[in-house]
Chains A and B, each alone.
Chain A
């Protein structure tokens, strides 16, 4: 149980285009999902908390108009990087809370390269 699927696993795009990343909880319902960003050899930095049926809560310094988050159902959250630029190249990881202890289980991550 507690499987989180994330895709695509790798995406290369041109500067100025938008990229959508999907995060799905496969065998449970997730009221809350989280989006993180990780630069090489650094730890995970929380970008936003995604709540089903309501607006996402963004961390300080994260542009909500650039990183659009939609949590349309209890099993799906999407992150759209709008007008991507090379500095947005990073490893993006989602997670979903599950169980009485609300442990976060992570998706496999998406490596974004913006040319």
Chain B
């Protein structure tokens, strides 16, 4: 079956580092995405991994291991504005003209405290 798992909630202090893990079991794989979603707003794109390894983009980094079906999003130097839900999404292989659909995990609510 298809499954994308991530923790429900994490709490961290301003200035600290938080690592959000995502494990997946899907019938196919065509990339893994991380999105940030503030309450009542649409998701915003953070990172994309299709090959194994670490992708770094400012304070945010994302890691992928395809053999383990595992990814993490690392948030450094946490700021209050980073309090949001972080969504892990796996893209399915292309079908016809489509690049593949995204299947989302339930999201991890990160709470940053002063």
Spell out A's residues near B (CB within 8 Å): 6, 31-32, 34, 42-46, 49, 51, 57, 91, 93, 97, 101-109, 111
Residue among B33, B50, B97 having the largest count of chain A Cβ atoms under 10 Å: B97
Q: Is the CB of A106 within 8 A of B48?
A: no
Asked if B43 is at the interface of the complex by the 8 Å CB criterion, the answer is: yes
Q: Is the CB of A46 within 8 A of B101?
A: yes
In the assembly, what is the distance between CA of A51 and CA of B99, in Å? 12
Q: Is the CB of B41 within 8 A of A32?
A: no
* 25 contacts across the A-B interface (CB closer than 8 A): A6-B42, A32-B97, A32-B98, A32-B99, A34-B101, A42-B106, A43-B87, A43-B105, A44-B43, A44-B87, A44-B102, A46-B102, A93-B43, A101-B48, A101-B50, A103-B33, A103-B48, A104-B102, A105-B45, A106-B35, A106-B43, A108-B41, A109-B40, A109-B41, A111-B40
Majority SS of interface residues in chain B?
Answer: loop
Chain B window 71-97, contacts with chain A (Cβ cutoff 8 Å), 1 for yes, 0 for no: 000000000000000010000000001
In the assembly, what is the distance between CA of A21 and CA of B42, in Å? 15
Report which of B31, B42, B101, B107 forms a contact with A106, defined as CB distance below 8 A: B42
* Nearest B residue (CB) for A44: B104
In the assembly, what is the distance between CA of A25 and CA of B97, in Å? 19
